[in-house]
Structure 1
Amino acid sequence: MPELVLPTMETVNPEPRELVAEKAESSLDIKNLSPEERKMVEEFAKSIDVTDSTVLVQYGAPAQSKISAFSDSMLNNYRTKDLGEQGKLLTDLVVEIGEFDTAAQKKGFFTSMKRQFEKTMAQYNKVNANVDTIVHKLEDHKRQLIKDVAMFDQLYEKNAEYFKEISLYIIAGKERLKEINDVTIPELAAKAEATGDQNDLQALRDMKDVVVRFDKKLNDLMLSRMISIQMAPQIRMLQSNETQLADKIQSTIMNSIPLWKNQIVIALGLNNAKAALQAQRQVTDMTNELLKKNSEMLKTGTIEIAKESERGIVDIETLRQTNSDLITTINEVVRIQDEGKAKRLAAEQELQKMEGELKQAVLAAAVRKNQ
């Protein structure tokens, strides 16, 4: 079985890969190919031996197997990852910082400043150690995400190559099919009509069967081509997701953590430097602040509880969506069944027609022999 070997993409078309894929997607006409590609496809089409069953079975298989293996490699790459770990680390980070703030608020206001400062410092050291551990893990994930973003560029390039290859297989197959329909079959039909020989009639029938099989094979290749088309935006979406997550981790490490530590250090320094009169003023200010916060928390909590209590167990939008999906599914099943029934009926009528034609041809041949 001859195999279609692609020239390098840069030689065939120097445009960016994205544009190459878009143009190849728009049409499978040989006229849209570059001169080098057209020459290669025309030569390959001539070498396709449609009378060889092995050729028909294996046609385009190399390109299909590459796309299949490519899909498996992408799936396996994600199976080996814990996709939720980065999000969990960010959540843990928020919890650690929140616990420190909560613990600070729970300190007694009427204890000595030294004792309060020592407790606050101990709590800060504990949270700071936990935060540093989480940050180290986030940095590891960020490095892996950056590697994955570069890997997705390579995957996109590979998919563009496989897409181009299978498109050329389809174009070559269509060219060969066109030649058979326009030249080979008319020649066989003319010969069979002229000789009336059963072997010639059978040769014509065999060639028509080959056309049907080859056309089905090209349709299978079209399905593989569509998989490759869909894979391109999927790769870009996955790449975008990982890029955004890497940016989020970077922002957290470089901005949020230093800001939090800076604010805590400032607070600790102020607490250590204040005198007794300042401490009394702090008590008063903190008391007012707590009253404001408690008031705000009471307001917010009451409103949220009221909202949640008025909410149904299942949102009407959810029920509307599920109901719409169910109706769509039922209609689609009925449509598919109707189409299948119509196709079977048409096939039955076609088989009856073909049987009648064959009987007529055999009978005509027998009559001519007896004359």
Structure 2
Amino acid sequence: MSDTTRKQAEATLAEVEQVSAVILPEPTEANAIVPLAEADAPTSDAITKRMAELDMSDTNSIVSFGSAAQSELQTISQAMLQDVRNKDVGPAGDSLRDIVTTIRGFSVSELDVRRKRTFWEKLLGRAAPFAQFSARFEEVQDQIDRVTDDLLGHEHKLLKDIKSLDVLYDKTLAFYDELALYIAAGEAKIAELDTTTIPAKEAEVQAADENDQVMKAQELRDLRAARDDLERRVHDLKLTRQVTMQSLPSIRLVQENDKSLVTKINSTLVNTVPLWETQLAQAVTIQRSAEAAAAVRDANDLTNELLTANAKNLRETNKVVREEMERGVFDIEAVKQANADLIATINESLQIADEGKAKRAAAEEDMKKMEAELRDTLASAKARKTGLGDTASTAVPNA
């Protein structure tokens, strides 16, 4: 609920208490019909004044007798009915039900963020439990703000209705008393007609000459008809007064219901809604605290895992480094192998050198042999060319 709405509700509290404290008076014996003969001086003057409104020779005077008392009441009633037509009927109760439904639709079980999303929730792409809760909380908060604004408007309308009903009740009670005066005036007029006016007119008819007697008789009939019309009018006024008396508790009942509803609305705005909002805010805060604790726990777990992993890595790395540090530049086995390979290489080189030397000596012998053979071949080829042939060396030279 917004601060503006809360301040308005608190400001209206005094007005609610004021209208609730108003006690409407009830009709008593003082409101009863008092005959003119038994009335005190002020009441007698009031009855006489209303009797003066009657003109038995004017039918309209009889028909409209007492109607002036209802004019102000009718004006107030029409104004209230016009106000009723200009607004919805009974929306305050609907708003109260809406706000209760909104809160009841808010499930605190949604706070369980430890619950893992089901396969279907993951498949449908639904948000995590707390994300759903936060969105739901924002939706509920918006609905509460909207309904509280409506309730505040209904409260002002009901307060206006209660005050209007106060005025209507007072005017209705005054109309009830005014009807008593008109009824008393009508009955006094009827008694006056029955005991004085009509007998006097009858005597006048009897005393009239034959030419005027018909006219006087018609006047007597008209007077008696007017008297009967007045009696019927008084009877209607008595019925109207009875209905008016029945309307007084009806007005009071409606007003009491409005007072109860206003009190309930104001209590909801001032006490209940802030309490609901406080509880919802606490629920969110508690859940956020739980989330923060879980985050701290995860951070601590991660720190412990890092410490353990780092200690293990340090141990393994230190072992490798220390082993490498304690090793010589060359491993003895590698030196031995290298030395053996070197000796083998030297022996192999010497062997290859000896073999090469022998091969060169053999080659030299071969080359010498090939050279001798080549000379012999060349020499043989030269002798053939001179014709001496093979016998040239055996021939006897010339003397």
Shared fold, TM over 0.5:
yes
- In the other structure, the counterpart of 1:187 is 200
Q: Counterparts in 2 of 1:19-98, with a 5 A limit? A: 21-23=27-29, 25-30=31-36, 33-46=39-52, 48-98=54-104
**Aligned-partner SS, 1:88:** helix
1:48–1:55 CA contact under 8 A, matched in 2: yes
Deviation at 1:224, TM superposition (A): 2.8
Distance change >3 Å, CA 53–CA 119, structure 1 → 2: closer
**Aligned-partner SS, 2:107:** helix
- In the other structure, the counterpart of 2:145 is 132
2:189 paired residue among 176, 180, 198? 176
TM-score of the pair, normalised by structure 2:
0.57
Distance change >3 Å, CA 210–CA 38, structure 1 → 2: same
Q: Map Cα deviations across residues 66-117 of structure 1 (whole Å, 9 max, x no partner).
A: 4444443333332222123222222221222223217717866136xxx644
Distance change >3 Å, CA 26–CA 36, structure 1 → 2: closer
1:28–1:170 CA contact under 8 A, matched in 2: no
Deviation at 1:33, TM superposition (A): 4.3
Q: Map Cα deviations across residues 123-182 of structure 1 (whole Å, 9 max, x no partner).
A: 212211221121122112112212221221111122222222232222112111111101
Q: Counterparts in 2 of 1:158-237, with a 5 A limit? A: 158-194=171-207, 197-237=213-253
Distance change >3 Å, CA 130–CA 224, structure 1 → 2: same
1:268 paired residue among 284, 298, 304? 284
Q: Does 1:100 align with 2:106?
A: yes
2:53–2:65 CA contact under 8 A, matched in 1: no
Distance change >3 Å, CA 108–CA 56, structure 1 → 2: same
| Runs of at least 5 residues in structure 1 that lack an aligned partner in the other structure | 1-15, 280-371
Instruction: State the alpha-carbon separation in 1 of the partners of residues 51 and 265 from structure 2.
Output: 53
The sequence identity of aligned pairs, in percent, is: 28
Distance change >3 Å, CA 84–CA 56, structure 1 → 2: closer
| Runs of at least 5 residues in structure 2 that lack an aligned partner in the other structure | 1-22, 118-127, 298-399
Aligned length: 260
**Aligned-partner SS, 1:136:** helix
**Aligned-partner SS, 2:106:** helix
Distance change >3 Å, CA 64–CA 254, structure 1 → 2: closer
1:46–1:176 CA contact under 8 A, matched in 2: no
2:95–2:147 CA contact under 8 A, matched in 1: yes
The two structures, once aligned, show a CA RMSD in angstroms of: 3.2
Instruction: State the alpha-carbon separation in 2 of the partners of residues 206 and 240 from structure 1.
Output: 51
1:67–1:224 CA contact under 8 A, matched in 2: no
| Larger Cα-atom Rg | 2
Q: Map Cα deviations across residues 292-338 of structure 1 (whole Å, 9 max, x no partner).
A: xxxxxxxxxxxxxxxxxxxxxxxxxxxxxxxxxxxxxxxxxxxxxxx
Distance change >3 Å, CA 263–CA 168, structure 1 → 2: same
1:64–1:221 CA contact under 8 A, matched in 2: no
Instruction: State the alpha-carbon separation in 2 of the partners of residues 87 and 43 from structure 1.
Output: 49
- In the other structure, the counterpart of 1:109 is 115
Amino acid at match of 1:160: L
**Aligned-partner SS, 2:62:** helix
Q: Map Cα deviations across residues 170-227 of structure 1 (whole Å, 9 max, x no partner).
A: 2112111111101122222334345573344333333222211111122222233233
1:24–1:164 CA contact under 8 A, matched in 2: no
1:117–1:272 CA contact under 8 A, matched in 2: no
- In the other structure, the counterpart of 2:125 is none
- In the other structure, the counterpart of 2:335 is none
TM-score of the pair, normalised by structure 1:
0.61
- In the other structure, the counterpart of 1:304 is none
Q: Counterparts in 2 of 1:317-356, with a 5 A limit? A: none
- In the other structure, the counterpart of 2:268 is 252
Distance change >3 Å, CA 88–CA 43, structure 1 → 2: closer
**Aligned-partner SS, 2:54:** coil
Instruction: State the alpha-carbon separation in 2 of the partners of residues 138 and 116 from structure 1.
Output: 32
Instruction: State the alpha-carbon separation in 2 of the partners of residues 147 and 57 from structure 1.
Output: 36
1:167–1:225 CA contact under 8 A, matched in 2: yes
Distance change >3 Å, CA 237–CA 177, structure 1 → 2: same
1:142–1:249 CA contact under 8 A, matched in 2: yes
2:133 paired residue among 120, 127, 145? 120
Distance change >3 Å, CA 102–CA 33, structure 1 → 2: farther
